[in-house]
């Protein structure tokens, strides 16, 4: 019913180091829970604790403690499948999730822990426009937007973040901090995150990332030239670039990939003066500087000339270079010998921080226009060429790519395009709040009532276009996506303390599942809870008139129908799944309930059974 409690996770880590500091306390429901004896912990750390008004290096802002609590607090929420809005629901490995991204991140945390190779986000910039994310998404999208107070009765937005409101930076920091805090846990140990940002918050964002990821895990701050033309109406200096912060989960394990050499660089730095059949090459010195630590000795050249110097190779290695045709001696054989470095053997060049020739915002607008016939839907979407470049740096061909501010789904588009180009099998997870479009906007007039509708339609159109443009190489390209929507828990609220439960309430709790929830809703809930990724293959079969779901080739088998008989239980047990799940009210009678455990002991002794 509830996502993981981040505080209890942290207590568990402290318990591993200082078990003597763990104690017990009452929780809000009248039960017990593990807690920290801070007095004892202070004693153990007394020589290092900094508290009170003592000066220390720190980055803080109003409500930072609440932001930390928001990251750790558990929620009662789930993700409900929406096959009718999906593309290739049964076979795709891509996900599109509608809902507030903090709650979605919490829902995904346990199942996708350490599984995401690369995160790219383009969060709302703090420019005085709207960016507010209300950290409470327990109802439907329409109820959420109404309850959050963001819109009046006419649908006009009420909350803006102008510099005059006194919380210009605070509101933005409280929004971004908990989301990055939870997102870090999803990254693989060699994973990386790329974050687009402009001048308004780049300084604060870097401090936040230093705290969450560790300042030693900063890989770089890239500068992307977003405009090809000068903004001559700028007040002082024309801003033509934005920033992309790049952090590693663990910089010692992360690897930023090389990038292909440009034609301009190849023509400038490589040549083939002797028509070497291996192609163009550079040359590198074999002799070392006089002050190097190499031992000085004599090498004999192919023409018999002896040269005494400090060398990077032995005479045998030198002779092998001669035999392989890798030796180059300038000045008609009288210069110092050099080794050929062939372009075909190089993995590429190290990327640098100045991205000035990739693509611009204008290119992104033209891409939107080519898909929708207008570029009025999104003014600030990122060009897919930029995101594709970042994908080449931070992912491999089988990576999971995550974007939890997905907007117009540029990241999904870039993932599909790059897969089409290099034969990759990257999978994307897009998350977007279903924020309503302005009734006066071109998007609304075109029938798109919220941003998610635009994002999903872009993926559909982009996928179709990629396949149409590359019919011979994209037969197996995954351009589909499973749509899931954040909602309150499928289960009725039964976690009350005894004193709050009245006798008349007991009959309402006979069936603990909400009336409007389907078997598919329950299936995806248990998939999240039991570690089956949301893109897992789902197969259905019918036994004795009851639907049985087989997830991930027997990892999870479930049946949520009523009046389940011994025959159905036996069929599930014979599949020998890792987990078997049924509803609490499923079994047809007491006899079946009695036989349930014995059936699994007989046919599937290693299966873990769960009752929902």
Q: How far apart are CA 315 and CA 338, in angstroms?
A: 14
Res 309: pLDDT:
94
The predicted pLDDT at position 498 comes to 54
* pLDDT one-digit tens code per residue, 515-541: 899 999 999 999 999 999 999 999 999
Q: Assign 482 to helix, strand or coil.
A: strand
Residues 6 or more apart whose Cβ sits within 8 Å of residue 250? 189, 190, 217
Q: Give me the pLDDT at residue 386, please.
A: 97
Q: Are 207 and 135 in contact (CB under 8 A)?
A: no
DSSP 166: S
Q: How many Cα neighbours within 13 Å face the side chain of 472?
A: 0
Closest alpha carbon to 482 in 6, 64, 85, 28: 85
pLDDT (tens digit per residue) in 378-391: 877 999 999 999 99
**Per-residue DSSP letter, 211:** I
Decide which of 288 and 164 is more confident. Answer: 288
Contact predicate 40/20, CB 8 Å: yes
Asked whether the predicted pLDDT for residue 158 surpasses 50, the reply is: no
pLDDT digits (tens, 9 = 90+) for 42-69: 777 776 666 766 777 888 888 898 899 8
Q: What is the dihedral of CA 258, 264, 270, 271, to 10 degrees?
A: 150
Sequence-separated (6 or more) residues with CB below 8 Å from residue 531 = 110, 111
CA distance 179 to 105: 7
Q: Which two tokens stand for residue 125?
A: 């910039």
**Residues 421-448 pLDDT 10s:** 999 999 999 999 998 988 998 999 999 9
Confidence of residue 28 (pLDDT cuts 50, 70, 90): low
Q: Is the pLDDT of residue 375 over 60?
A: yes
Least Cα distance to 141 among 93, 82, 69 occurs for 82
Q: Residue 140 above 50 pLDDT?
A: no
Residues 476 and 416: their CA atoms lie apart, in Å, by 11
pLDDT at 565: 92
- Return the residue matching tokens 């995806």: 524
Residue 611 three-state SS? strand
Contact predicate 382/410, CB 8 Å: yes
**CA neighbours closer than 13 Å in the CB half-sphere of residue 508:** 10
**CA pair distance 52, 294, nearest whole angstrom:** 56
- Binned at pLDDT 50, 70 and 90, residue 157 comes out as very low
pLDDT value at residue 228:
85
């Amino acid at each position: 019913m509830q996502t993981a409690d981040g505080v209890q996770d942290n207590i568990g880590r402290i318990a591993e180091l200082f078990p003597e500091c763990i104690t017990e306390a009452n929780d809000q429901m009248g039960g017990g829970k593990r807690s920290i004896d801070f007095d004892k912990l202070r004693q153990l750390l007394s020589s290092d604790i900094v508290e009170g008004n003592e000066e220390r290096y720190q980055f803080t802002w109003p409500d930072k403690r609440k932001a930390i609590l928001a990251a750790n607090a558990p929620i009662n929420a789930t993700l409900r499948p929406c096959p009718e809005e999906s593309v290739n629901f049964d076979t795709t490995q891509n996900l599109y999730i509608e809902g507030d991204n903090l709650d979605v991140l919490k829902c995904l945390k346990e199942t996708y822990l350490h599984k995401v190779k690369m995160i790219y986000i383009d969060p709302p910039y703090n420019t005085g426009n709207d960016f507010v994310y209300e950290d409470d998404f327990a109802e439907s999208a329409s109820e959420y937007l109404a309850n959050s107070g963001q819109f009046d009765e006419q649908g006009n937005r009420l909350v803006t973040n102008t510099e005059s409101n006194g919380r210009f930076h605070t509101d933005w920091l409280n929004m971004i901090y908990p989301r990055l805090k939870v997102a870090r846990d999803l990254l693989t140990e060699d994973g990386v995150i790329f974050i687009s940002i402009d001048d308004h918050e780049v300084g604060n964002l870097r401090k936040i990332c230093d705290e969450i990821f560790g300042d030693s895990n900063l890989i770089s701050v890239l500068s992307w030239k977003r405009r090809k033309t000068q903004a001559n109406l700028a007040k002082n200096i024309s801003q033509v670039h934005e920033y992309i912060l790049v952090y590693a989960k663990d910089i010692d394990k992360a690897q930023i990939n090389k990038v292909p050499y440009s034609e301009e660089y190849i023509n400038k730095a490589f040549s083939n003066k002797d028509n070497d059949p291996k192609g163009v090459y550079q040359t590198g010195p074999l002799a070392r500087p006089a002050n190097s630590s190499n031992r000085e000795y004599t090498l004999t050249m192919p023409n018999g000339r002896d040269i005494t110097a400090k060398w990077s190779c032995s005479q045998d290695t030198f002779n092998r270079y001669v035999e392989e045709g890798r030796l180059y001696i300038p000045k008609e054989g009288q210069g110092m010998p050099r080794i050929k470095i062939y372009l075909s053997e190089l993995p590429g060049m190290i990327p640098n921080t100045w991205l000035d020739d990739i693509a611009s915002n204008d290119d992104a607008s033209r891409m939107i226009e080519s898909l929708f016939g207008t570029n009025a839907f999104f003014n600030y979407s990122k060009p897919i060429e930029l995101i594709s470049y970042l994908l080449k740096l931070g992912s491999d061909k089988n990576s999971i790519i995550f974007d939890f501010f997905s907007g117009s789904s540029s990241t999904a588009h870039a993932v599909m395009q790059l897969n089409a180009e290099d034969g990759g099998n990257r999978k994307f997870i897009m998350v977007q709040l279903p924020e309503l479009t302005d009734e006066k906007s071109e998007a609304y007039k075109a029938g798109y009532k919220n941003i998610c509708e635009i994002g999903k339609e872009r993926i559909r159109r982009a996928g179709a276009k990629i396949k149409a443009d590359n019919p011979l190489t994209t037969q197996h390209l995954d351009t589909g996506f499973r749509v899931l929507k954040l909602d309150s828990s499928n289960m009725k609220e039964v976690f009350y303390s005894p004193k709050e439960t009245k006798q008349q309430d007991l009959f309402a709790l006979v069936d603990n599942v909400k009336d409007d929830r389907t078997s598919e809703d329950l299936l995806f809930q248990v998939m999240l809870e039991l570690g089956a990724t949301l893109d897992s293959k789902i197969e259905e079969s019918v036994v004795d008139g009851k639907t049985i779901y087989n997830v991930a080739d027997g990892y999870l088998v479930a049946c949520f129908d009523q009046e389940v008989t011994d025959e159905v239980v036996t069929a599930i047990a014979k599949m020998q799944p890792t987990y078997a799940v049924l509803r609490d009210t499923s079994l047809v009678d007491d006899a079946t309930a009695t036989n349930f455990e014995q059936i699994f002991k007989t046919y599937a002794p290693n299966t873990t059974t769960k009752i929902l």
